[in-house]
Amino acid sequence: MFKYFLVLTLMLSNARLLAAELGHSKAKKGGTFLYNLGSGPTTLNPFSSMDAYATVVQKEVLESLLERNPETYKWSPRLAESWKVSKDGKKYTFKLRKGIFWHDGAPLTVADVKFSFDAILDVETYKTAHRKPYFEGIKAAKIIDKSTIVFTVKNTYFANFREIANMLIVPMHIYKNPAKKQRKKLNKTLIGTGPYILEKYNKGKNIILKRNKKWWGLKVSAFKNRYNFDKFLMKFVKDSTISMTMLEKGNLDFIGLGADDYVKKTSGKKWGKEVFKVKIKNKSAKGYAFIGFNLKDPLFKSKKIRKALHLLVNRELMNKKFLYGLTKLATGPLYRQSEYADPTVKPIPFNPALALKILRSEGWKDSDGDGILDKMIQGKKKKFEFTILEPSNFFNKYLTVFKEDAKKIGVVVHIKNIEWTTFVKLLEERKFSAVRLGWSGGKIEWDPKQIWHSDSRSKSGSNFIGYSNLKVDKLIDEARLILDHKKRVKLLRQVYKMIADDVPYIFFFNADYNYYAHRKRIRKIKDSLTYAVGRDYWWIEK
């Protein structure tokens, strides 16, 4: 353990090297970047927000103490100009840059940094249950002087330093103990120190960010060729067909593509001349879509029942028909290309006959000849019928295939499309039978606690399906305190396998590639950097 901390100390102590200047020397400043966010964030509040839409906005407005270099993945200075890890690995010291101001003109202070940490641990006040698991290993934040703060750890959680370094810093004078009237306002406002200022939030339509002309980074060489747009116009276009039409007409500059969009919808006279499609592969963490079962619903309590339902999902057909065979069938609670995913876990195949056999063994049969399986539960006949809440019309075609195959053996599946804000509210209130959703990639180094630990079942926690396996909890807790990377991977592969065996989700696909499209006027160093697409370095060619 000492060797680990000694090496870490040598790497980080008094670090002052600036991030490699990745931006193109000919990058131009100016223009409005027309970007499809997809949907409006449920809330912009950096403490309580949980969706990826909010994260995209926040990362342009707020900043962290350090950041990862997108090519090397090494730490680089951001709000902190230097940092140091003690020899015993129990203290992290950060020294803030001077002359940094919030967008409202107030100066950034170490008190803001301390508050940003303390608030995360105050779950009831700031609704941070989904974030707290990552900060439980930090004992306290102590202000040393007007520019120095020290974080003390209470255990050897492998990601302690990462979480503090990545933590978004918020203004204490805005967020500390807001009155009830102010809380609603904080859902639609955002004040940071970053390169962009939230100019306007047009509910249901778009978010407009404008360049922060007083941003401290304009005077730092490492940021010289980054954040080149004068404005970000983030539109909320859910339908992929509509967004592609808008791209072709010049009403959008950039959109993410699905594999089917990339293959099927990117032809025509403008493609390759005015509009370009891009296929990339990098080392960033990959997300996945799933159907999650409310495990408090008696219908889904049995692992065998959940396995039977997974057997009714013809992912091979979906992959071939909708994704042109460009993705892998998921096997468990993380993208299977990750080193943390147990390679011995195989995809659950499509097998309706086996599904029906399992359901019959669990007492489900068509007793009245109406074509629907039923069972006596607590003295009442219950039909095998449930509803999947779906926040995106795009995924309907996948669910429809599932619905039709399930119907053939007597299982009735309803699909209910629902608006995003309402969807999130029902998740928080646990008012659903099943939901179709997706997790973004998250961190490369996997910590399953946020989603899969029993402690994360609270109202604002991410374990909204109510999954609980005490053996999984124990292994997760053990793995978090293991500093040796190889040993931690070995333990978490067991966690992966155990969760997959419990079938809490129907896991869909893990993509090898990502796809996007852009207008000709968008210029970039290359299609993707090693650990990120690298949009911060793009510019508009007028």
For 108-161, the DSSP string reads P-HHHHHHHHHHHH-HHHH--TTTGGGGTTEEEEEEEETTEEEEEESS--TTHH
pLDDT(11) > 70: no
Residue 180's pLDDT is 67
In the chain, % of residues over pLDDT 90: 83
Among 181-195, 264-278, 330-344, which stretch is predicted with the lowest mean pLDDT?
181-195
- Residue located via tokens 């992929």: 240
What confidence tens digit (pLDDT) does each residue in 198-215 have? 999 998 899 999 999 999
Q: Which of 355-359, 379-383, 491-495 has the lowest mean pLDDT?
A: 379-383
Whether the pLDDT of residue 488 is over 90: the answer is yes
Question: Do residues 485 and 288 touch, judged by C-beta distance below 8 A?
Answer: no
Report the side by side order of strands in the sheet with 254-257: 196-202, 206-211, 231-235, 32-36, 254-257, 514-519, 275-280
Confidence band, pLDDT 50/70/90 cuts, at residue 16: very low
Band (pLDDT 50/70/90 cuts) for residue 179 is confident
Per-residue pLDDT at 177: 84
Q: Yes or no: say if 210 and 11 are a contact pair by the CB < 8 Å rule.
A: no
Predicted confidence band at 181 (pLDDT cuts at 50, 70, 90)? low
pLDDT (tens digit per residue) in 56-94? 999 999 999 999 999 999 999 999 999 999 999 999 999
The type of residue at 507 is F
Domains in the chain with CATH codes = 2-227 (3.40.190.10), 288-511 (3.10.105.10)
pTM for the model stands at 0.87
pLDDT of residue 18: 37
* pLDDT reported for residue 14: 35
**pLDDT at position 6:** 31
pLDDT class of 183 with cuts at 50, 70, 90: confident
Range list of β-strands (E), 246-358: 254-257, 275-280, 288-293, 327-329
Binned at pLDDT 50, 70 and 90, residue 367 comes out as: very high
Q: Is pLDDT above 60 for 9? A: no
* Res 21 pLDDT > 60: no
**According to the model, what pLDDT value does residue 102 have?**
98
SS3 of 23, please? coil
**pLDDT(274) > 90:** yes
Q: Is the pLDDT of residue 194 over 90?
A: yes
Determine which helix (DSSP H) or strand (DSSP E) holds 389, and give its type and residue range. Answer: strand 385-390
Cα separation values, 451 from 58, 312, 426, Å = 22, 25, 17
What sign does the dihedral 279-280-284-286 (CA atoms) show?
positive
Taking CA atoms, 505 is separated from 216, 311, 451, in Å, by 45, 12, 12
Residue 448 pLDDT > 60: yes
pLDDT the model gives residue 12: 35
Question: Across the chain, what does the average pLDDT equal?
Answer: 92
For the cut 90, the answer to whether the pLDDT of residue 495 exceeds it is: yes
More confident residue, 512 or 95: 95
CA distances from 339 to 157, 283, 504 (A): 19, 12, 21
Q: Tell me the C-alpha distance between 329 and 336, whole Å.
A: 9
- In sequence order, the 6+-apart residues with CB closer than 8 A to the CB of 238 are 38, 39, 392, 393, 394
Place of tokens 């629907």: 372
Reading phi first (left if > 0) and then psi (alpha if -120 to 50, else beta), residue 378 is in left
Q: Determine the longest span between alpha carbons in the chain, in angstroms.
A: 77
